[in-house]
Structure 1
Amino acid sequence: MDPVFSIDLDTGDVANQKQSGRCWMFAALNTMRHQMKDNFRVAKDFELSQSYTFFWDKLEKSNYFYENVLKTADLPTSDRKVAWLMTTPQQDGGQWDMFMAIVEKYGVVPKSVMPESFSSSASREFNATLNLKLRKDAVELRELVAAGTSEADIQARKEKMLAEVYRMAAYSFGEPPTKFDFEYRDTDNNYHLDRDLTPQEFFKKYVGWNLDDYVSIINAPTADKPYNHMYTVEMLGNVVNGRPVRHLNVDMDTFRKISIAQLKAGESVWFGSDVGQESDRQKGILDTNLYHKDELFGVDLSMSKAERLDYAQSLMTHAMVLTGVDLVDDKPTKWKVENSWGDKVGNNGFFVMSDDWMEEFCYQVVVNKKYLPQELQEVLKEEPKVLAPWDPMGALA
């Protein structure tokens, strides 16, 4: 588990999500800034604003919650879908497609333009207050539906609720910029100034991705999800009528091959895993051979990956970035992982993940679809099967 890799991308300094659940945002923004570092020679500590996308995600998730409340308003509160909604009206976590929905609508900005606040770095109290408001609003929306209120009047009331959410987020995170100047010195000490950019213009010029090229690939070896098919999850999303969550389920051999192909091309890979399993935070090691609790207690604790998913022993809990891999005879033995827990853990914030650990506890990667075999590129056009809201593939990193 030495941190030495045959393919090792130079990605700069690690970021720190602090006491917030924004790993999915940090990981996605990190993959973007990795390319900015290569293309525009920004400093190794340059970051895109996680607070900016956090703000808009809170507003959009609130609207998404309100719309789901209205869709289920004719169901009793004891119904499983209603109970599922009310358990967590919104939270910090998310999925890749949810982040892309935010970027498509709002763009991105440098961290210098919208820096961190206390509430963005320590979000628990804000989340508790916002969820209180959303549940209170759910009571009112359901009562309006029960009273036969017109759709126009209900939507007008919902807009006022959203205005209150906007105010709460603005007080907590700051108000997002609509135009800004991008000023920086590159690694050759050359000065650059780009004036009056909108967030969408900044994304187009400095990131420049075609977001449709990047697709979510999962490994869920459960009987209800045959490989080489598309899946989505009911009531999972943030932007209403925005980009839907879509997963292509593949076997682990394909999962690895496409990840390696993207790394070989010099591009890091967003991935989701169950980071709490068989891991050492301080040493920065993810390895199935770290602990042997079964030998300690003399009991059989073995479960298959499918069994862990089906019986709630594991699911995706955290998103990070693959920035390297060690290939021996063209087979991966271990992977380099950029985390978002600051530079005080692991090897300056980087972790080493054994290939066995990837096999057991990695559930999702995001790759450019050009790295998929042609037959799987065709599968992407398939209408996805809709999974239940509580399906483990709907877990938020």
Structure 2
Amino acid sequence: MAKEITDSLVAKYSDKIQTKPKNKIIKDAVMKNGINAATLNNDAVVVMNPVFSEEIETGKVTNQKMSGRCWMFSALNTFRHKLNKAFDLKDFELSQNYTLFWDKFEKSNYFLESIIKTADEPLEGRLVSWLMTTPQQDGGQWDMLVSIIEKYGIVPKQVMPETYQSNRTVELNRLLNAKLREDAGNLRALHEKGKSRDELEAAKEEMLEDIYRILVFALGEPPKKFDFEYRDHEKKEFHRETGITPQEFFKKYVDVNLDDYVSIINAPTKDKPFNKTYTVQYLGTVVGGRKIKYLNVDIETLKRLAISQLKDQETVWFGCDVVLYTEPKIGVMDKDVFDYDTAFSTKFGLTKAERLDFHESCLTHAMVLTGVNLVDGKPNRWKVENSWGEDRGYKGYFVMSDKWMDEFTYQVVVNKKYLPDALKAAYEQKPTELKPWDPMGALAMMH
């Protein structure tokens, strides 16, 4: 039989607080300053020295502003690091607005195709309800951006710069999702009337015309060709290439074989054995594009792969849960940065696996590893390039403890040449399909 909260129970709890004088000091500090400021552990901040034995110079950080494009910024940052070095450019950026446009357009098509595919599923069922919750959003995964780039290429930021709405995507997302939900209802109604698949596809194409128009008005229309002009940093020489397409630009100036890069995850839950591959149902952006594919490994293997790539002077895209135990103003990511246990006289003791199983944590943000500090060959802290502008951390760079890496990092993307033969073979396995709402289906989209 369920028991209600009684007055005597509340009185007992209250008395325990009142009998300890230090509790008033803690209460006043938390009420005045907030939980994180009141529990900040300065010893942990001091230990996070922003100096690293292995470090890649990557220049000025980018700023995603009020958008959830971290995964996109981070991936494009790994490309611009290569481009800046190869062509002696300084603080050159690729257009995040260009990839945003095509991502939202392709996600809209992906959603409507999913609605057609699930037309016989009940509207109140978990699957269709999940699809309707967020028809499209800013967040994404590495493989999703690969599909965009393989289809549309990329362009310099100068060619398709930021707009008001690309920097502040809330209004655009609300408008797109309202239209897409309306379209979903119309497609299901047509299916109920017995319309054929071809008729549903024709209706969908008319719907996409509205989506394209909204995107053009909000973000601008992506160029089909453009002129690339730049002056190199040291020699000050001017360069120009006219009439180049976005696909040609990526192939010539970035020159990365995207097939060489694989997503490595650490999800230590019972349902996901290590050295197996996984994908997620109904997760993607380009219909017919690259499917999401993860290889799950233990955390030591994940870190070893990342270090190998950093040692070769190549930065590493990674996904994590930046919400937990991160002090963004100072730029410290450490399990000990906030002493919640002492302040509240309790213990927050979930393991990494339990946090995933019980929905306490998931991938919320993507950034770039640009350095690591090794002591006797073992990492104790990592250098992180964020995309929140220069007023956070150390001019936009964060310091992450190795303990935090263990607990809250879920994914890295590395060149498969760093994988030992056994892991290369494991990656080639047919992936197990995870449900759409699995924690590994979470998208990096932290503002």
- Scaled to the shorter chain, the TM-score interval is over 0.9
Task: Compute the displacement of 1:152 (Å).
Answer: 1.7
Partner amino acid for 2:74?
A
**Equivalence for 1:283:** 330
Is 1:165 paired with 2:211? yes
Instruction: Give matches, 1:133-212, under 5 Å.
Output: 133-188=179-234, 189-212=236-259
Name stretches of at least 5 consecutive residues in structure 2 with no aligned partner: 1-47
Partner amino acid for 2:285?
N
Instruction: Give matches, 1:255-274, under 5 Å.
Output: 255-274=302-321
SS in 2 for 1:364: strand
Deviation sequence 1:259-308 (CA, Å, 0-9, x none): 00000000000000000110111100000010111121111211100000
Distance (whole Å) between structure 1 residues aligned to residue 398 and residue 115 of structure 2: 41
Name stretches of at least 5 consecutive residues in structure 1 with no aligned partner: none
Deviation sequence 1:140-191 (CA, Å, 0-9, x none): 0001111111222211110011111111000000000000011001112111
Q: Find the partner of 1:315 among 357, 362, 372.
A: 362
Superposition TM-score, scaled by structure 1 size: 0.99
Distance (whole Å) between structure 2 residues aligned to residue 381 and residue 275 of structure 1: 30
**Equivalence for 2:340:** 293
Deviation sequence 1:78-131 (CA, Å, 0-9, x none): 110000001111100000000000000000000000000000000000000000
Deviation sequence 1:173-217 (CA, Å, 0-9, x none): 000000001100111211111111000000000111111100000
Distance (whole Å) between structure 1 residues aligned to residue 404 and residue 93 of structure 2: 29
Greater gyration radius: 2
**Equivalence for 2:157:** 111
Distance (whole Å) between structure 1 residues aligned to residue 231 and residue 395 of structure 2: 24
CA RMSD of aligned residues (A): 0.6
Instruction: Give matches, 1:199-238, under 5 Å.
Output: 199-238=246-285
SS in 1 for 2:176: helix
Q: Share of identical aligned residues, percent? A: 59
SS in 1 for 2:314: coil
**Equivalence for 2:30:** none
Distance (whole Å) between structure 1 residues aligned to residue 394 and residue 339 of structure 2: 24
Task: Compute the displacement of 1:254 (Å).
Answer: 0.4
SS in 1 for 2:366: strand
Instruction: Give matches, 1:27-66, under 5 Å.
Output: 27-43=74-90, 45-66=91-112
**Equivalence for 1:97:** 143
Q: Find the partner of 2:128 among 61, 72, 82.
A: 82
SS in 1 for 2:256: coil
Superposition TM-score, scaled by structure 2 size: 0.88
Task: Compute the displacement of 1:36 (Å).
Answer: 0.5
CA contact (8 A) 2:89 2:232 kept: yes
Task: Compute the displacement of 1:71 (Å).
Answer: 0.9
Distance (whole Å) between structure 2 residues aligned to residue 333 and residue 151 of structure 1: 56
What is the number of residues matched between the two proteins?
Answer: 396
SS in 2 for 1:158: helix
Task: Compute the displacement of 1:381 (Å).
Answer: 1.1
**Equivalence for 2:28:** none
Q: Find the partner of 1:371 among 414, 418, 432.
A: 418
Distance (whole Å) between structure 1 residues aligned to residue 427 and residue 133 of structure 2: 32
Is 1:125 paired with 2:157? no
Partner amino acid for 2:81?
H
